[in-house]
Amino acid sequence: MKKARSTMSDNLQSSEATEDTEYFPGQHADGSDVSSDAAQSFIGGSSVVSAHPEHHHQETSSKDEQLENNQVTTDDLESSHYKNEHKIFTFSLPFGGNAIHFPSIKQIRQNLPIIGSNDTDDRGYDPTLSRHEIKQKLKRQQSVSTIEESFLFKDLKGVDNGRFRAVKKAFTPAISIPSLIDEKRKKESVWDQIEGEVVILGGYRGSVLKETETNNRLWIPSFKTGLNLNKKTLLIGPNDEDEIEVQKHIYSPKTLNHVGPVDITRKLRAKLTNGKTNVHTFGYDWRLSCDISSQKVIEFLAKLKCNQGSNPKGAIVIAHSMGGLVAHHAMQQRPDLFRGLIYVGVPSMCPNVLGPIRYGDTVLFNNKILTPEINFFMRSSFVFLPEDGRCFIDKKTHEQYNLDYFDPQTWVEYNLSPAVAKSRQKASAKAAKLEPVKSPILKGIDSFDMKRSLSLRSSHKSTAEEFNVSFDESYAYLSRTLKRTKKFLDDLKYDPEKKYPPLAIVYGDQVPTVRGARVDGVADIKNGNYDDFFYGPGDGVVHHKWLMPERRGFPVAAKLSSGEGHISLMTDLETMGDALFAVLQEEKARLSARDG
């Protein structure tokens, strides 16, 4: 029987429908799809699974045109053409291409090194356990020790697609008990049952950015504009006033729905639209301090119809990655605006951010869009820093180097960013000593150029670049931002006095995920030689033990694992449906308990 077509509802904002026709990387200027290689290169990371790559070019232009107009068929929702590759991000983050100056990354080894621990509950490996039993523990969401993780990935080859598919299959139960089939059908019906307001938030680099005056798209840049963007386009100045001013000139109309043929939220939006829902994608400037974005979420939710009148119900919010941190913070301030919150690959920490801050990213062959300095002045970058300080492990002694990432002096001592590297500090001090006493005639002449020149000549060899902000201003900015970020993170903790909505987690636990880097002593950290990684189960970005809101002490209605990678978690419609089902069931149980 031919499957029925489901179209996007008219209640999606017309601006969103129009903007979906913009030409994303992976498309020609005429809008026709090309190989997904261009889109994949923009997304970044190392591919470990390619689902049906032979189908990349088999879709017809008419179907492409339909998809560009937000008309998604049921067949399209299941089409292998739109299944994404798993990605492993090694000290990098999605949508950043490749690092600019990063040392040559070693290929993922046949024996993935899993050493050290980010947890305090490692109890060692039970030699009586088999790989199958360890996988079963992961499926049951039981604690898995670091040594067990090492044993699980011992013979896993990073580029062996078939082996990864076998691992994925091993995690998928093939059970056909009638009661379980009925339960599955019951969960699938949630897509028809859900009603009301639904809001989707993207994560870091996951919203479109546009210029207010020209309406030109700055992020994600098209091929036409990407080569012309300069290093100041996305740069925010060091002062608080700069962060306020930039909001007048750059805005976000929506989340990033897809990159070329790679789906992010488009299928989910189509599935959610059933005639009884009003689906919104909330775009925000992901460069700003997360507390600013949180306040904007509150203002947006407060204006929704579901939060008006005498009996407001709240909105169901689905938030991906950093968007989950922003939404969670908003929920902490106004839990009454939320009917439910689904965390999709939301980290409590992610040391991968140290790569972009230190080395920058190359986007569309342009290394000036996301330089180390630009990433450094994105206030949101610091929200991923590990509060426990764990990231680097000595490869010989296995000693953990626990750094205080919220102490600005740590950044100078260990050269974590070229903007505040010790070499720049010394150059700045030297320039101050060499600065002559100005005569009244010369008072109007600033010595900034001399300071800047000295700083550039002394900057770290692997990141020789021009800086727009002096060391002193950069250090002062860092001090303020770390303090502000730490307060934001502290505000995420569970408060038993508050009445929270039903919560659910969707996460990945089948893709090797960087837990940290092995270094040859402290000198390797200072020199930026952290390209020898150790891994554990996750989604390629977020380790399965770093999940929000669990790490903050919140009870959840459901915690659901997916075989998808970080970027494509929201395309796992079965798991997303299970999460929605759990939220609605918890809501129903609470109402029943309240009504007695």
What rounded mean pLDDT belongs to the chain? 77
Give the model confidence (pLDDT) of 262-296 as tens digits. Answer: 899 999 999 999 999 999 999 999 999 999 999 99
Confidence of residue 362 (pLDDT cuts 50, 70, 90): confident
Judge if pTM exceeds 0.85.
no
Give the model confidence (pLDDT) of 386-440 as tens digits. Answer: 999 999 999 999 999 999 999 999 999 999 999 999 999 888 888 777 765 544 4
**Mean pLDDT, rounded, for 65-69:** 33
CA angle 156, 158, 161 (to 5 degrees): 90
pLDDT of residue 452: 39
Q: Using the predicted structure, report yes or no on whether residue 191 has a pLDDT greater than 50.
A: yes
Tokens at 216, concatenated: 């030109």
Are the C-beta atoms of residues 569 and 556 closer than 8 Å to each other? no
Query: Which residues are CB-contacts of 503 (< 8 A; sequence separation ≥ 6)?
Result: 340, 341, 342, 343, 549, 554, 555, 556, 557, 583
Give the model confidence (pLDDT) of 437-481 as tens digits. Answer: 544 434 443 433 433 333 333 334 444 467 999 999 999 999 999
Q: Using the predicted structure, report yes or no on whether residue 158 has a pLDDT greater than 50.
A: no
Q: Using the predicted structure, report yes or no on whether residue 182 has a pLDDT greater than 50.
A: yes
pLDDT of residue 242: 97
Confidence of residue 353 (pLDDT cuts 50, 70, 90): very high
Ranges of each domain in the chain? 14-82+182-348+495-507+541-595
**Mean pLDDT, rounded, for 493-501:** 96
- The span from the CA of 134 to the CA of 405, in Å, is 33
Classify the phi-psi angles of 385: left when phi > 0, otherwise alpha if psi is within -120 to 50, otherwise beta.
beta
Residue 71 phi, psi dihedral angles, 5° rounding = -100, 105
Give the model confidence (pLDDT) of 529-576 as tens digits. Answer: 988 888 899 999 999 999 999 989 999 999 999 999 999 999 999 999
Q: What does DSSP say about strands 277-282 and 196-201: parallel, antiparallel, or unpaired?
A: parallel
Are the C-beta atoms of residues 514 and 113 closer than 8 Å to each other? no
- The span from the CA of 152 to the CA of 537, in Å, is 9
pLDDT of residue 48: 60
E strands of 541-582, at which residues? 558-562
Confidence of residue 96 (pLDDT cuts 50, 70, 90): confident
Cis ω for the linkage preceding 108 (within 30 of 0): no
The amino acid sitting at 328 is H
Specify the CATH superfamily of domain 14-82+182-348+495-507+541-595: Alpha/Beta hydrolase fold, catalytic domain (3.40.50.1820)
Are the C-beta atoms of residues 315 and 306 closer than 8 Å to each other? yes
**Mean pLDDT, rounded, for 55-70:** 36
Residue 250 is given by DSSP the state: E
- The span from the CA of 60 to the CA of 53, in Å, is 16
Torsion of CA 134, 135, 141, 144, to 10 degrees: 30
